[in-house]
Amino acid sequence: MSFTTPPRPFDVTALTPRLAPLARTATRLHPRPGSPTVHDSSVGGPLLWPADEPWPHCEGPHDASLAEDTPRSAEDIRALRRVRAASAERRLRDRRAPVRTPEEDEVWRRHGGGRPWFEGPVPMLPVAQLYARDVPLPARPAGSDLLQVLWCPCGHGVSEPRTALFWRSAATVTEVLDAPPEPPAIEKDGYLPRPCLLTPEQVTEYPSTMELDEELQDQLSDESRWEAAGAEWDDGEAEDPQDFYFRNLATAPGWKTGGWTFWSLTDPEPRDCPTCGTEEIPLLTIASSEWDDGSVSWRPAEDPADPAQHLPGDPSEPTLVDIRGGYTLQLHVCPASPDHPHLQIME
């Protein structure tokens, strides 16, 4: 199975050639539920982690009073997801089927009630593992061919889990840790990614509207330019030509590496490396959805338009990750050195 982003509605450089040098390649990961192994690129899958290397822990502080949701163990969350999937499948076959069977009620009683909050350092959770053979990794350090991303199971009161990045050479991992520790509780279900396999696809991106200079913004707003280029912007969704550009021609939604930073909540902020001042570049975007109503033109051709007919679950939310009710967490790295701290931007 491969996934194909439909061609963009038109070539945006026809509107203004000044955009041409700003084109960047992003690699959409197209995560879909599966059973990845340590040798696969994955979201939420097992990591190729050396048996003799300590598993990363987050030192906190972790304030129970700031928890967004009922804290549950990974086992609880997996059990409840199985029940929800079984229910969805049953009701897809027969709309009058019960939402829950007595057995499923029992699973809810056992796993739904929540777990005690944790004290002290807590094991981090695997978020993504990307092999360079599968996915281009910007600013990849020499000698490494594998990126592993983990995060704390707690949002630290800002609904934005603290992430940790590890670069390594897969060939140096001879003995793999087979049972990594799991946190006793996870702040909310959306912080446990459902295991997914990836089908990377490269697309071209341009900067978010707010990151363009004034002249380019004016050119994109100029309806006569669109007309002259034979480009239709009024698709019934876009408020104006700039909005059409932003939704359909600038940055791709969903999990991806590379490309341009996506700005929507805030004005663009400096992304200077705290150590050396170099501007950090987008490495990995962790997304709550692969597309939404505002970015539906990016829906892969292979995915059904009607998610209600799709199993397992909505194809626009394959990983079940939720960043503060639908946002993205964009990890940026310093191109000067992998030892410099990375930045995370939530939009």
The nearest distance, CB 125 to Zn ion, in angstroms, is 10
The nearest distance, CB 121 to Zn ion, in angstroms, is 9
Any alpha helices (H) in 157-310, and if so which ranges?
214-221, 223-228, 241-245
Contacts of residue 272, Cβ cutoff 8 Å, sequence gap at least 6: 278, 279, 280
Q: Kindly calculate the radius of gyration of the chain based on its CA atoms and give it in whole angstroms.
A: 21
Nearer Cβ to Zn ion (113/277): 277
The nearest distance, CB 347 to Zn ion, in angstroms, is 21
CB 194 within 8 A of CB 42: no
Nearer Cβ to Zn ion (112/335): 335
**What letter would DSSP give residue 143?**
T
DSSP H/E element including 77:
helix 74-93
Nearer Cβ to Zn ion (168/342): 342
Strands (E), the chain: 24-28, 32-33, 42-43, 57-58, 122-123, 125-131, 146-151, 163-168, 196-197, 201-205, 256-258, 281-287, 328-333, 343-346
The nearest distance, CB 49 to Zn ion, in angstroms, is 19
Measured in whole angstroms, how far is the alpha carbon of residue 172 from the centre of its chain? 28
SS3 of 47-70: the string is CCCECCCCCCEECCCCCHHHCCCC
The nearest distance, CB 331 to Zn ion, in angstroms, is 14
Q: What is the per-residue DSSP string for 94-118?
A: -TTS-SS-HHHHHHHHHHSS--PPP
CB 187 within 8 A of CB 162: no
Nearer Cβ to Zn ion (176/336): 336
Longest dimension (CA), the chain: 64
The nearest distance, CB 213 to Zn ion, in angstroms, is 25
Nearer Cβ to Zn ion (150/152): 152
Nearer Cβ to Zn ion (47/154): 154
Nearer Cβ to Zn ion (169/275): 275
Nearer Cβ to Zn ion (63/213): 63
The nearest distance, CB 62 to Zn ion, in angstroms, is 5
CB 153 within 8 A of CB 191: yes
The nearest distance, CB 67 to Zn ion, in angstroms, is 12
The nearest distance, CB 183 to Zn ion, in angstroms, is 9
CB 150 within 8 A of CB 126: yes
User: Which spans of this chain sit near Zn ion (rule: CB under 5 A)?
Assistant: 58, 152, 154, 273, 275-276, 278, 334, 336, 340
Number of other CB atoms surrounding residue 17 within 10 Å:
8
Nearer Cβ to Zn ion (152/329): 152
Name beta bridge partners: 256: 28, 285
